[in-house]
Every structure is written in structure tokens, then in C-alpha cells.
Amino acid sequence: MKITTTAGLDQKADVLVLGILDETKTLKNSVLQKDLEDALKEKVLHKEKFGEVFVTKNNGLPYHNVVFLALGKKKELTLEKVRRALGKAVKAVRTLRQPSFTTDILDLVKDQFDAEQLGTAAAESLLLANYSFIKYLSEERKEKITLLEMVSLQWSGNVAALGSGLKIGRVIGESSNFVRDLVNDSASVVNSVYMEKIAKQVAASSPKISMKVLGEAEMKKLGMGSLLGVNLGSANPPKLILLEYKGGSGKPVALVGKGITFDSGGYNLKPTKYIEDMKTDMAGSAAVLGTIKAAAQLGIKKNILGVMPMCENMVSSHAQRPGDIVKAYNGKTIEIGNTDAEGRLVLADAMAYADDKYNPEYMVTLATLTGACVVALGYYAAAVMGKDDRLISSLKEAGMNSGDRVWELPFYDEYQDWMNGSISDLNNISQKGKGYEAGSVTAGVFLSKFVEKAKWAHLDIAGSAYWCVDGDYLCKGATGSGVRVLLYYLMGK
Ligand code: BES
Ligand code: ZN
Ligand code: ZN
């Protein structure tokens, strides 16, 4: 999708989308003014109802359609609301089956935001809203889906500043969509070997990225029994993919993403309604890959280490059993209380190895780790936890600014021994109370035992990575959650 800026509205576009603020009294064009008055009088449009869309009758203007989009009170607008408004605009035009639109929305709010930030948010949402996962649709079905080719933004402010924001936003949007494609795809395609192939392509895209992959034999030698145990039932080989992005000097920020290409639950098999979406259990690793790819394109001036432990949690006569005891890279032994709590097991070795060998200053883990997180927060925030308050506040701020929100869960001292084992150092499920209390926090507590040196925080993206509902600029399915919060964090915005 091409995004252009023009001083006025672009008469060559197919659709005109006009933002209607609560304060809007008159429109320049008298025909549209009449349309607006009628729509308000007939109560088919409410200026105060943010996001309400009304398609006017065609009135001899050079557009196929004119759309009014209510924006509410100007003072109450935020960058996230701008994203949502543009997302609504994209979706309305896609529903009208037109390939392009022009809009005054950004220009209406230009005095309220920094032009570069506004451009970034705009491009992000335009690209995210113009996404559909169509890989497996027949030509006939594909034809029914309209993707926009061009959006023209009216802009009378600083063109260079908006333009530089649009460029940043395009990278963020495209890398999020790259992640969505990986997460939406079938687990029969996206296995560890496939992820290695895609990671190789990412590494080849920039001279600043280098890649190393540890295979089964090497991991055995290194004593990564925790990760290896999870993959025992799978026909696909386990892989620990490491990507180094060199954008600056100093210790790296390590990003460690859960990469379970399918989570059947193992012998603690998941039931119907829980197992179907488990191809998405590699969303953390995909978000790490997308972030590294974008970091290189954006030229982020930091060193970043991407760590992707790739495994598949399957059932077979070789698979790990409940009650098995494994030993992790850092020497800690773990009793497998439940084979479905596998994410923490693969992260454990990946974290301990990264902490030991790469000496990161910060480490952020990203994982579709717990069903408890979906219960607690639903889709619209990832959970964040850890012991480093500064890192957590930076991530919270990045979440707020990017719209890829994070919500802190308490990491109280009382929980810190809940994962201790009785015949092993640790158990992979909580050993206190009924076992399920504070399930996302106890999973985080388990992870914390595998990082010693780095300042660490953990993002549970179980709910935010994959939606069962449509949003304003996102849609059902994979969201690319993690990429936006991490990039805003790394860009320091
Ligand atoms: N991959 C799941 C968590 C999950 C659930 C992600 C729903 C996305 C949506 C994870 O491996 C898991 O099964 N966790 C268990 C842990 C339990 C056995 C302690 C859970 O949450 O039920
Ligand atoms: Zn599981
Ligand atoms: Zn899982």
C-alpha cells in the first residue's frame, strides 16, 4: 500500500473519508455540509461517538463514496485513537470495495501531536488494517477481499516530519504483518526448520545481523535437558536460533521468545476448545524475529540479541512423561508436573544460555505462556512482570505509546518459592495452594530462576497475540503483539 501526503484532499482517490469532530460545525463543501446536517438530524451519525462511520449518498463529487467518521472531542484524542480512526477508515473503504481513499483526519489533529509520532502511528494502523491472511484462499475467495493500494493523507504541517514518521510506521506495520503471517500459518508448515529458514532470510537482509543455530547434538552437549525434553515427542528437530543485531555499542538487550510450533499439551493433552489455536504458540519467537528485522530497517542504535527456542510439544512413545525429571543448562533440576507447562521449560534453557554466553544488560522474555493470562486480561494487554521496576516502567510506557499495551501483574515475594520442587530443585507447575492460583505470576517466577546477571522482565502475550474478535485496526487471528511494544521500547519512545 502506497501512502502519500498532499496539501489538499486528493481528487484522484476513490473514496473521501472526512473526520467529523464533535466541534465540527461546517464543511467547506456545501453539498457535503448538507449531507452532514441530514446525517446528524436523522441521527445516523453522532459526532460525539468516536469511531462511528456513515457512508453518504453519492453527491456528484469526484469520489465513488464519501465517508463521515466521527472523532468525538478534539481534546480527548490520543495517538491510539488516531490509529483506531484510520483503521476504521481502511476497513470502511475495504468494505466498499474501493482501492484507495483520501482523508483529512491527520490534518484535523495536527496541532495536538508531534508530526513524526503522528506519522508513525498513522502508517502503523493503515498497514495493520490493510492485512488479511489469504494464503490458503482460492482465487475466487481472494477476489472477494479488497486490499487498499493507496492512501492519500491531507497534510498542511511539516511534511518532512510526517514523512519520517510514516517511514518508521511502515517498518513497524510491515514487520507486525510479517509476524502475523507466521503465527496465522499452519503448524504443519511453520515448524522449527521453517522458522530457521525464515530467520536466515532475516539475517541475510542486513549486514548488521548474524545468526547461529544450535541443533540437538550441540544442545545435548551443553546440557539443555529442559528444552530437549519438550521436543522428545516431535518428528521435527529442536533448534535454538540466535540472532545478533549490532546497531550500537555496549551490552545487548536480549529478547527471548517462546517458539512452540504446536502445543498439543503432550501427555497432559489439551481438550477441544483449547488445542485448536495452539499453532500460535510460537508467537513470542515470531515477535522476536520481527523485532530484529525491523530494528535493522530502522537502524536502531543498540545491540540486540534475539533468542528463539523452537520446539514442538507432541505425544508419542518418545514423548516426555509427567513425573520425568530433567536438568537445565544452569544445572537446576525440574520435575515435570505437567507436560502442558512446556513454554517455561524451553525458555529456561534459552534464558540461562543467553545470560551466560552473551552477557546482556537487559533481557525481555515474550511468550504465549499461560491460559491464566487470557483469563485475567483478555486480548487487549500483555501481562508484564519481573523484579526490575525501571525496565517494567519502560515497557509499560512503550505499551501505552504503541497501543500494544502491557499491564503489570504483582511479582510479590510470597510467590517466589511456589515453584520449588520436593524431589527436584523446581517443578514446572506451582506447588502451593490448589496449584492454579496466580498462574501467570507463578510461570514468571519459574522463568526468573534462569536469569542471574541480566535485568529481566517477562511479557505474557497469550491473550494479545491472537484475537478471536475483530478490532479497529487489527482483526481476528494473529496481531503481531510484542513487535510494537518492543520497538517503541528499543526506540526509546
Ligand atoms: N500455550 C499454553 C498457554 C496458552 C493458553 C496460550 C491459551 C495461548 C492461549 C501453555 O503452554 C499452557 O498450556 N499453559 C498451561 C500451564 C498450566 C499447565 C500450569 C495453562 O495455562 O493451562
Ligand atoms: Zn502448554
Ligand atoms: Zn504452550
Secondary structure in 3-state letters for 41-81: HCCCCCCCCCCCEEECCCCCCCCCEEEEEEEECHHHCCHHH
CB contact at 8 A, 308 and 241: yes
Among 149, 177, 205, the domain boundary falls at 177
What is the b/e burial string over 381-397, where b = at least 16 CB atoms within 10 angstroms of the residue's CB? bbbbbbeeeebbebbbb
Cβ 292 vs Cβ 486: under 8 Å? no
Which ligand is located closest to the Cα atom of residue 336? 1
Is the overall model pTM greater than 0.95, yes or no?
A: yes
**Rounded Cα gap, residues 165 and 358, in angstroms:** 33
Residue 108 confidence (pLDDT): 97
Is residue 270 among the annotated active site residues? yes
Query: One of 74, 200, 251, 270 is an active-site residue; which one?
Result: 270
pLDDT value of residue 169:
98
Residues 471 and 353 grouped into a single domain: yes
Geometric angle at alpha carbon 213, from 194 and 200, rounded to 5°: 50
Residue 132 CA to residue 143 CA, distance in Å, equals 12
Q: What is the CATH number of the domain that holds 47?
A: 3.40.220.10
Q: Is residue 124 located within the same domain as residue 207? A: no
Question: What does the alpha-carbon distance between residue 370 and residue 274 come to, in Å, rounded to a whole number?
Answer: 12
Residues 400 and 304 in one domain: yes
Residues β-bridged to residue 211:
243
Q: Does the CA dihedral 391-393-399-402 come out positive or negative? A: negative
What is the tens place of the pLDDT at every residue in 283-328? 999 999 999 999 999 999 999 999 999 999 999 999 999 999 999 9
Distance 422 CA to ligand 1 centre (A): 23
What are the tens digits of pLDDT across the range 397-437? 999 999 999 999 999 999 999 999 999 999 999 999 999 99
Q: Is 362 inside any structural domain?
A: yes
First to last CA, the chain: 25
Measured CA distances, 271 to 275, 278, 378, 467 (Å): 6, 11, 20, 19
Cα–Cα dist 292/295, whole Å: 5
Q: What is the pLDDT of residues 232-290, one digit of tens each?
A: 999 999 999 999 999 999 999 999 999 999 999 999 999 999 999 999 999 999 999 99
Tell me: do 194 and 324 sit in the same domain.
yes
How many domains does the structure of the chain reveal?
Answer: 2
* 170/234 same-domain check: no
Ligand 1 lined by 297 (C-beta under 6 Å) = no
Percent of the chain at pLDDT > 70 equals: 99
The β-bridge partners of 366 are: 257, 459
Residues 323 and 404 in one domain: yes
What per-residue confidence (pLDDT) applies to 493?
A: 56
- 136 belongs to a structural domain: yes
| 182 in a structural domain | no
The values of phi and psi at residue 155, to 5°, are -155, 120
CB distance 281 to ligand 1 below 6 Å: yes
CATH number where 228 lies = 3.40.630.10
> Is the CB of residue 263 below 6 angstroms from any atom belonging to ligand 1?
yes
Say which ligand is closest to the CA of 443. 1
pLDDT digits (tens, 9 = 90+) for 343-372: 999 999 999 999 999 999 999 999 999 999
The 10 Å Cβ neighbour count of residue 271 is 7
Please state, in angstroms and rounded to a whole number, the distance separating the CA atoms of residues 450 and 452: 7
Check: CB of residue 184 under 8 Å from CB of residue 478: yes
My answer on whether 134 and 276 are in the same domain is: no
Q: Over 90: is that where the pLDDT of 57 sits?
A: no
> Considering the domain boundaries, does residue 421 fall inside one?
yes
Same domain, 146 and 252: no
Q: Which residue has the cell 555499542?
A: 249
State pLDDT tens for residues 428-451: 999 999 999 999 999 999 999 999
Contacts of residue 208, defined as CB under 8 A and 6 or more positions apart, other chains included, come to: 245, 246, 247, 296
Any ligand 1 atom below 6 A from CB of 460: no
Tell me, yes or no, if 321 is annotated catalytic: no
Q: Which domain holds residue 296?
A: 190-491
Protein residue closest via CA to atom 22 of ligand 1: 371
Residue 228 has pLDDT above 60, yes or no: yes
**Residue that terminates a domain, selected from 177, 207, 239:** 177
Q: Is residue 183 in some structural domain?
A: no
Q: Which DSSP string do the residues of 282-325 spell out, in sequence order? A: GHHHHHHHHHHHHHHHHT-SSEEEEEEEEEEE--STTS--TT-E
Tell me how far the alpha carbon of residue 437 lies from the centroid of ligand 2, in angstroms: 17
> What mean pLDDT is predicted for residues 193-198?
99
Closest CA to 369 of 447, 422, 290: 447
Burial class (CB in 10 A: 0-12, 13-18, 19+), 276: exposed
State whether the beta carbon of 338 lies less than 6 angstroms from ligand 1. Answer: yes
Under 8 Å between Cβ of 288 and 239? no
What pLDDT was estimated at residue 60? 77
**Residues 257, 391 share a domain:** yes
322 falls within a domain: yes
DSSP string, 328-368: -TTS-EEE-S-TT--HHHHHHHHHHHHHHHH--SEEEEEE-
Most informative mutation of 260, 315, 370 for ligand 1 (most atoms within 8 A of CB): 370
Vertex 463: Cα angle to 462 and 469 (nearest 5): 140
Spatial CB neighbours of 430, under 8 Å, sequence gap ≥ 6: 418, 419, 436, 437, 438, 439, 442
In a domain, 185, yes or no: no
Number of Cβ atoms within 10 Å of the Cβ of 467: 18
Characterize 407-418 residue by residue with b for buried, 16 or more Cβ atoms within 10 angstroms of its Cβ, and e for exposed.
Answer: bbbebeeebeeb
Residue finishing a domain among 143, 177, 211: 177
Average pLDDT over residues 151-161: 98
Burial class (CB in 10 A: 0-12, 13-18, 19+), 300: buried
The confidence score (pLDDT) of residue 58 equals: 67
Residues 135 and 203 in one domain: no
Least confident stretch, 55-69, 178-192, 224-238, 466-480: 55-69
Q: What mean pLDDT is reported for the chain?
A: 97
User: Are residue 257 and residue 315 in the same domain, yes or no?
Assistant: yes
**Which is nearest to 465 in space by CA: 408, 398, 404?**
404
C-alpha cell of residue 473: 485496526
In a domain, 184, yes or no: no
Residue owning the nearest CA to atom 5 of ligand 1: 371
Same domain (yes/no): 430, 403: yes
* Atom number in ligand 1 closest to CA 281: 1
